[in-house]
Amino acid sequence: MKNYLFLFVVLLLFSCTQNKKPNNELNTNISKNETLSIIKAISIPIDTLPYNFEYTSIHKEDNELYFVGLDKPTNALYFYSITNQSFSHKIQKPTEGSEKFMIKQFYIHSKDSIFLLDDYGTKLQIVNIRGNNVCSFKFKNKQKTNIVEASLGKGIIYFGRDNKIVLPSYVEIEDTKAEFYKYGFGSLFLLKNDSLSLINDIGKFPDEYTPDKSSYFYYPSANMIKYNDNILLSFSKNHNLFSLNVDKNKTSKLKKWKSSYLEEDFERLQLNHDIQQGSNYVFTTGFYTLLKIDTETEILYRIVKHPQPLKNTEGKLNQYLECGFSIMYGKIDDPNPKEVLLEKGKYVPYVVHSIGNNQLLISLENPFNPNNKENMLEFEIIELK
């Protein structure tokens, strides 16, 4: 069975020795939601091609839809045609020599502008869809306060009209310290000729994220997506959605979008925790993961990971992808978004992309999916009504 696990979860996989925690799962016995429709099943033969990607995206060109995945071992972007259900091509970068460029993250603006961020946050390249170099930028890794580094939750955001770009970044302070939350989680640059000019480090965590004397929210993350001239923010341990004005570096609360599968208050982790306790925390607690938007209909999608007990009834450890997931959706200003429950063990809900027309492309590469086929890359196109 193929193993398609989220990077930070993979890093937290350890054997557990603690006692079973009480079951804090909510409302998992509800009937199957009839508002999810499967529009089409996708099966792409892969043979020896990679299927386990660190970062993924989609691209539309000439009425053809592509799924694009970054494979770190081969240092390449792989383009799979969803329309034709076949492999198309790859963009590969050298791993040695003067042209060495280790891809860590990418953003597809158009077929002529694909942004590549290197592993050390010091180089940015723009290539076309065939991998030909369009432009290269080098910049100092150290900004005013932050270090640029690729992050799964914080993608590259490009404002073409103003020729500005937001790169994921962080401050070099332990996230257990209150000072960490005084700084931003992105860096705004101006692209001019072949240079990147820092405008400002941007973003701010909600006040609730500040650690108290004994506990904090482990693995603080902000999921960022572009919306017109602003950035929409979804924090993993906050029910509210936020808007970030990048020019003013001002964060404003938009709406409270609370999942019916999460408690009002989020569980914190002790500051003096060990690695095992951190792993257990991620596996058992519920939180928000991805934020996606349909740019055609302006429908927003918020992915929710549900809480689960540490062990099942047989005393075996519950894995990350064994827990429940749901998708909240609605207009940005909708105070009462809908929420659909996903079938357990079927999907990979952090490999999901809005493809327009109120439809989502979602991966079936869940290792607990009994119908998972070897040598096939499988998806479903679903619609939430």
List, for residues 22-58, the tens digit of each pLDDT value.
Answer: 333 333 333 344 589 999 999 999 998 998 898 999 9
The parts of the chain modelled with pLDDT lower than 50 are 1-33
The pLDDT assigned to 120 comes to: 73
Block residue for tokens 């064994």: 322
The pLDDT assigned to 138 comes to: 77
The pLDDT assigned to 287 comes to: 97
Euclidean distance between CA atoms 221 and 224, whole angstroms? 10
- For Cα atoms 77, 79, 84, give the angle at the middle one, nearest 5 degrees: 170
225 closest CA partner among 175, 144, 168? 168
The pLDDT assigned to 92 comes to: 98
The pLDDT assigned to 26 comes to: 37
The pLDDT assigned to 153 comes to: 65
List, for residues 191-231, the tens digit of each pLDDT value.
Answer: 988 788 889 999 999 999 999 999 999 989 899 999 999 99
The pLDDT assigned to 142 comes to: 60
The pLDDT assigned to 344 comes to: 93
